[in-house]
Structure 1
Amino acid sequence: MAAANGDSKGFEVPKLEIKFTKLFINGRFVDAVSGKTFETRDPRTGEVTAKIAEGDKADIDLAVKAAREAFDHGPWPRMSGFARGRILHKFADLVDQHVEELAALDTVDAGKLFAMGKLMDIPGGANLLRYYAGAADKIHGETLKMSRPCHGYTLKEPVGVVGHIVPWNYPTTMFFFKVSPALAAGCTMVVKPAEQTPLSALFYAYLAKQAGIPDGVLNVVPGFGPTAGTAISAHMDIDKVSFTGSTEVGRLVMEAAAKSNLKPVSLELGGKSPVIVFDDADLDTAVNLVHMASYTNKGEICVAGSRIYVQEGIYDAFVKKATEMAKKSVVGDPFNPRVHQGPQVDKDQYEKVLKYIDIGKREGATLVTGGKPCGDNGYYIEPTIFTDVKA
């Protein structure tokens, strides 16, 4: 297994200028009310990438005020779906024009593979925008056949001001999963990117303004969960919250929403996904699929196949092939096109993974391969396999 060392020898690391580090509220980049900043670090090295304005309750209040004004009195909810769709298509085109820069931002923020960002994450975000741009003028109600001589119909309207809390593992994909349908419907919003990965979200706010999305419609406030995230969840003037993250925090989001204005909440929370392999499976195909399910995005994915159940008839052969594949996986700088796995997103996640590896050893599971940090700096961990795991 190739060790990670952060060395750019043999491949080119793109030059990257961090352009946007302030909060984006009502169409402008502004400092936090408190003047505070926090550091975002490059997981390849642990070094500081940029200092980001730290939003908290006061900033969320300003962002919600701007979003409420834009919803209650601005043009966005009152445009035809076709007109909103045209702007979203332009937004998508602008994303396409900055693919390399955006992919590099997610690499230095989240440790994501640069090649994968260029190929999938950033184009995928643009295509999510295009999908919902096409849906914007197709949000129809129904005329209902009534049992009595009266008229009945349904009318679908935007819910209002939406709060989006975005996770760190897929900063671009999850940004557009949340923002695109809300924009298409005519909602206005406040987005809180994860504190580990704010850079691309701020860039997307800039591109949204360039595309013609009116001021106040899309606000981006980086900050921390207990402050900015709680302020969104509990805000009386936010009509709906969308959160992706841990089950523990999801409960807090739902509780805060219930205690405020009983706003509806959409939650996508963590899991421990099983993969079941039977004796009649094609062994090579099964091993390849399980490897992909386990190690895609360095395992930082809510549907990672991290529990593998293999039927007895092929168990030994499966473990052997899976171990061989894990040992061949190249861990290193995610800008290197030959690398399969980059660093964990930050020091906390790195230490959490190593802690769980240690727990596995102490509880009697057999460490077959991996289990150790990789390289002299950065947050790299070897692909790891345990067997003899007790439920």
Structure 2
Amino acid sequence: MASLHLVPSPVPNPEIKYTKIFINNEWHDSVSGKVFSTYNPTTGEKICDVQEADKADVDKAVQAARSAFSLGSVWRKMDASERGKLLFKLADLVERDSAYLAAGFPPGVVNILPGYGPTAGAAIASHMGIDKVAFTGSTEVGKLIQEAAGKSNLKRVTLELGGKSPNIIFADADFELAVEQAHQGVFFNNGQCCTAGSRIFVEEPIYDEFVRRSVERARRRTVGNPFDPTIEQGPQVSAEQQSRVLELIQSGITEGAKLECGGKAPPSKGFFVEPTVFSDVQDHMRIAKEEIFGPVQQIMKFKTIEEVIERANDTEYGLAAAVFTTDLNKAMTVSAALQAGTVWINCYNALSCQCPFGGFKMSGNGRELGEIGLKEYTEVKTITMKMSGKKS
């Protein structure tokens, strides 16, 4: 993990400046006049009201973007290096909370539409004037976007969807490293991470000790206000998500898994869930099959390589996986057999902007990052010219 000295200091009470819709380098109220409330998940208290975009606002943004990207526009006349400089400048300005317009983007290039999936999201997915949609979220919503794209203008779609990633710990692994990485692989970002290594398969000889050490680590995990740099775990994103996580925890207890620690909401305000560890988890249980998106660690036992590969792949998802072992041949054999878009060996969540990222099976299609990720936003064109009187 990065040193706290290298992480920007959090602002516990930031000034709320931008609550409107951003179209054509201007801030607007929604066409409908609707707003939605945003709440602080740490306290449950209301922060502000935000303008709610819907189809009419999407239409305005698409019109602005089409104009900005039309042949002969200021943006189209810029070369790649000029556009790249603007993107870096925008990142710096956003970090300093400055106005987007000051970044130098021509009107219509950047548009921001806060809203909900059934309204703004559906309008984007089905819009005849949009050529590409990239979505990160649940598999269920990803299917709806893919369907809407097919029924409209066959727009290209990149989908980064759900996961139930296996993390395989062999008996010859660096034990201390495996325990800590397995812990971070599940509890990072309060468990709200699509790559979360929530199915931990531990080889039988070290299973009991691995469970014991994992429980010790979970009990040491500090929970509280995420603006405090000494806190490791904050709240879930909403009251609804907190309720879903707690319901899945209860299903694990009901189906016979052993609750080692946690399992409840702390008595404090906010949408918190205690760091939770289950042992004796079976593959048919809901907590072993469904994406929890919360701080819940499931630890399962295996005996052979063949067994664990089959069980690891026995899921509708295929976003990520990990293998912990000191045997390079074993690591490569298992990694090649795992049905996942990203496989880590002796590490977890080690991501790089140069490496393509995306999933197999129902974890999505297309890739983000890397050269392949850039190509998702390009079209291939063939131009053939016949020259008369060609001289050799």
2:53 aligned to which of 52, 55, 62: 55
Q: In the aligned structure 1, how far is the partner of 2:10 from the partner of 2:64?
A: 42
Tell me the equivalent position of 1:18: 16
Q: Does 1:81 align with 2:56?
A: no
Quick check: 1:45 aligned with 2:75?
Answer: no
Specify the code of the residue in structure 1 equivalent to 2:45. E
Percent of aligned pairs sharing the same letter: 53
TM-score between the two structures when normalised by the length of structure 2 = 0.68
Q: What residue number does 1:247 align with?
A: 139
Q: Which residue is equivalent to 2:92? A: 93
Residues 21-170 of structure 1: matches in 2 within 5 Å?
A: 21-73=19-71, 74-98=73-97
1:390: how far off? 1.4
Q: Distance in 2 between matches of 1:267 and 1:232?
A: 14
Give, as a single letter, the amino acid of the residue that structure 2 aligns with 1:368: E
Residue 262 (structure 1) aligned with residue 166 (structure 2): no
Provide structure 1 residue ranges, at least 5 long, that are not aligned to the other structure.
1-10, 99-202
Supply the AA of the counterpart residue of 1:57: K
1:223 aligns with 2:110: no
For 2:164 and 2:277, the matched residues in 1 are separated by 15
CA distance in 1, matches of 2:150, 2:163: 24
Distance (Å, rounded) in 1 between the aligned partners of 2:222 and 2:211: 19
Aligned letter for 1:45?
T
AA aligned opposite 2:210: F
Q: Choose 74-83 or 354-363, whichever is displaced more.
A: 74-83
Partners of 2:165 and 2:79 lie apart in 1 by 42
Counterpart amino acid of 2:91?
A
Partner of 2:233: 341
For 1:14 and 1:364, locate their aligned partners in 2 and report how far apart those are by CA, in whole Å: 41
In structure 1, distance between residues paired with 2:10 and 2:66 = 45
Query: Alpha-carbon deviations, 1:130-182, whole Å to 9, x = none?
Result: xxxxxxxxxxxxxxxxxxxxxxxxxxxxxxxxxxxxxxxxxxxxxxxxxxxxx
**Aligned residue number for residue 273 of structure 1:** 165
Q: What SS does the aligned partner of 1:310 have?
A: strand
1:292 to 154, 161, 184: 184
Residues in 2 aligned to 1:356 and 1:15: alpha-carbon distance in whole angstroms:
33
Distance 1:57 1:343 in 2: 32
Residue from 245, 252, 256 that aligns with 1:360 = 252
- Separation in structure 2 between the aligned mates of residue 40 and residue 281 of structure 1, nearest angstrom: 45
Closer, same or farther: CA 369–342 of 1 in aligned 2, 3 Å: same
Q: What is the match of residue 174 of structure 2? A: 282
Tell me, yes or no, if structure 1 residue 304 matches structure 2 residue 302.
no
**SS of corresponding position for 2:259:** strand
C-alpha spacing 1:90/1:345, structure 2 compared with 1 (3 Å): same
Q: Identify the match of residue 315 of structure 1 among 195, 199, 207.
A: 207
Alignment of 1:227-238 (within 5 A): 227-238=119-130
Indicate how the Cα distance of structure 1 residues 236 and 12 shifts in structure 2: closer, same or farther if over 3 A, else same.
closer
Q: Deviations over 1:83-139 (max 9, x none)?
A: 2122223223323434xxxxxxxxxxxxxxxxxxxxxxxxxxxxxxxxxxxxxxxxx
Q: Which residue number in structure 2 is paired with residue 187 of structure 1?
A: none
Q: Secondary structure at the match of 1:389?
A: coil
358-367 or 79-88, larger mean C-alpha shift? 79-88
Which SS does the other structure have where 1:220 is aligned? coil
Aligned counterparts of 1:12 and 1:40: Cα–Cα separation in 2? 19
The number of aligned residues is: 274
SS, match of residue 380 in structure 1 = coil
Which structure exhibits the higher relative contact order, with contacts defined as CA atoms closer than 8 Å and separated by 6 or more residues?
1
Q: Secondary structure at the match of 1:87?
A: helix
CA distance in 1, matches of 2:96, 2:27: 22
Mind listing any 5+ residue stretches in structure 2 that lack a counterpart? 1-8, 284-392
Structure 1, 348-357 or 89-98: larger mean CA deviation: 89-98
Q: Which of the pair has more CA radius of gyration?
A: 2
CA displacement, residues 323-377 of structure 1 (integer Å, 9 cap, x when unaligned): 0000000100111121110000111111110111011111111100100101321
Separation of aligned partners in 2, 1:15 and 1:237: 39
Letter in 1 for 2:217: M
Find runs of 4+ consecutive structure 1 residues off by over 6 angstroms: none
In structure 2, relative to structure 1, the CA distance for the partners of 1:65 and 1:249 (3 Å cut) is same
Shift of 1:12: 9.4
Q: Distance in 1 between matches of 2:11 and 2:93?
A: 23
TM superposition shift of 1:282: 1.6
Partner deviation per Cα, 1:270-294 (whole Å, 9 max, x = no partner): 1100100011112111000000101
Please say if 1:381 is aligned against 2:273: yes
Rounded to whole Å, the distance in 1 between the matches of 2:13 and 2:168 is: 44
Q: Which of the two has greater helix per residue? A: 1
**Which whole-Å CA distance do the structure 1 matches of 2:257 and 2:13 have between them?**
44
Change beyond 3 A, Cα 1:13–1:217? closer
